[in-house]
Chain A
Amino acid sequence: MYIYKISRQDLTFVNTSDTPKVDTLFINGLRTGDAVLLKEIYSRFFSGIKQMIQTNAGSLDDAKDIFQDALMIIYRQALRPDFTLTVAFYTYLYSVCRKLWLKQLRNRSTKGEVEITETMDIMEEGLLEAITRNEQYKLYQDNFRKLGDDCQKLLRLFMEDRSVKELMALLGYSSESYTKKRKFQCKEKLISLIKEDSRYRDLY
């Protein structure tokens, strides 16, 4: 079992003596994408996650991918207005990484031998939902980037709740009917790309 404790020296980093403040610092670092704090998260926590993954049939590259995915999930969670960190940051990070890794192991059809302590199963339901949401976002965003620049621009503007008239003016299209037609074509193309993606079947 891997147990993490924030040491006295770690705490001096933020000139405070309680863990919640350090954890809030990391959550804020994720919310804002602060370069120094993100690196600090890597410095403090990556080795623990690497150890968990490498002792459970994973490689260093797996650890890197899982760590980054987990931070992305926590970032998205942290932006929700109702988000509250009810456990230590590392406990939360570890739980997300562990869930992600188990999911990937299952996908790879790796047989047995995975022995990870069950004591870290915190926020199980919310976590699974967050992990699924992360995968859905990836599926949609990856395919969105496959569209041509004009379709990306059109759909982005449309999602900003712009009217057809505004879209027409901003994109220099000749008529409202053409703008509508183009919007439909772009969206249809995107939805068909998403549905053809192999990840789609796993997610829906």
Chain B
Amino acid sequence: MDTKEEQYERIERYLANSLSTDEQQAFERTLQQDPVMAHEVLIHRHLYEAIRNEVPDNLMARALQKAANDYFADESQPEVVVPQATASKKSRHVPSWYWMAASVGLALVMGAGLFYVNNTTTVSNQELVAGNFTVYEAPAVFRSGGKDEAPILKTAFVAYNQKEYRKAIDFFQKSLLENPRQVVPNFYIGQCKLALHDAKGAIPAFQKVVDHGDNAYVVQAKWYLALGYIDLNQKEQASSLLRELSQQGGPYGERATRMLNELSN
């Protein structure tokens, strides 16, 4: 009779399909006659599946926990009031001296402001971007359809997670050479470029994601595209994207609203 160690080894070889044909047939006959052994094989099979999935499952569980934490943290925050561009305002009577005083004040402020406005615009845009830009997380579970794409993208994400953005860009670009229709590399090239303060390089990458249309990153790409435009002081393009995001609500709705307010100040 087999020792337990021998029994385990036989099960391992059976599950790995490494028994000879004769051994396999004999073992399968045993399984039909011996329910205890059949149960052990079932336990081993489930054990293998569970352990092989342990790392990705754990990553997903953490990603879900983070999403839950973010959601419940937001729920306890007071709601942001969305300004309505076309909202009707209640008219009220304002004394004429108010307007005179306001005009004088405004002229003084404008006069003083003119000395500074050219120097401060660029800086404040960059500050605005820096205050709103956080590098988008790499997918918790990365899977790729193509056999040859996965190793390149995995290497790209390793570099990305280690903040080696130039190296990550190289690998994302290599991955695009394999399959130029991919959305993920373009989205993350945009991220890397923004992280490297290269808004000019980030914009075309994000634009490709938006133009592709049918993918999971369109909304996110619009937000980062808006940040890129702000960085380059192209406020009109940025505002148009932000208005869209603000009206749609969704994951960037509130931030887009706040950003619009800051841009208009």
User: Which A residues have a C-beta under 8 Å from some C-beta of B?
Assistant: 9, 12-16, 21, 25, 28-43, 46, 64, 67-68, 71-72, 75-76, 79, 136-137, 139-141, 144, 155-156, 159-161, 181, 184, 187-188, 190-191, 194, 204
Within 8 A of A (CB), among B53-81: 53-55, 57-61, 63-68, 70-71
B43 and A36 within 8 A (CB)? no
B4 to A, closest residue via Cβ: A188
A29 to B, closest residue via Cβ: B216
**Chain B contacts of A39 at CB under 8 A?**
67, 70-71, 251
Stretch of B111-119, B124-132, B140-148, B200-208 at the chain-chain interface: B140-148
B219 sits at the interface (CB 8 A): yes
Name the one of A33, A43, A141, A188 contacting B59, with C-beta atoms under 8 angstroms.
A33
Q: How many residues of B contact A (CB 8 A)?
A: 49
Q: Could you list 20 examples of A-B contacts with CB < 8 Å?
A: A13-B219, A15-B213, A15-B218, A16-B214, A29-B216, A31-B141, A32-B143, A33-B63, A33-B141, A34-B139, A34-B140, A35-B136, A37-B216, A38-B67, A72-B64, A136-B46, A136-B50, A141-B54, A144-B50, A184-B4
B143 and A79 within 8 A (CB)? yes
Given known A38-B64, A71-B64, A159-B51, contact A32–B16 (CB-CB < 8 A): no
Distance (Å) between the CB of A46 and the closest chain B CB?
Answer: 7
A184 and B248 within 8 A (CB)? no
Given known A32-B141, A159-B48, contact A42–B219 (CB-CB < 8 A): no
A184 and B8 within 8 A (CB)? yes
Q: Roughly how many angstroms separate A38 CA and B251 CA in the complex, as a whole number? A: 10
B262 sits at the interface (CB 8 A): no
B92 sits at the interface (CB 8 A): no
**Chain B contacts of A160 at CB under 8 A?**
52
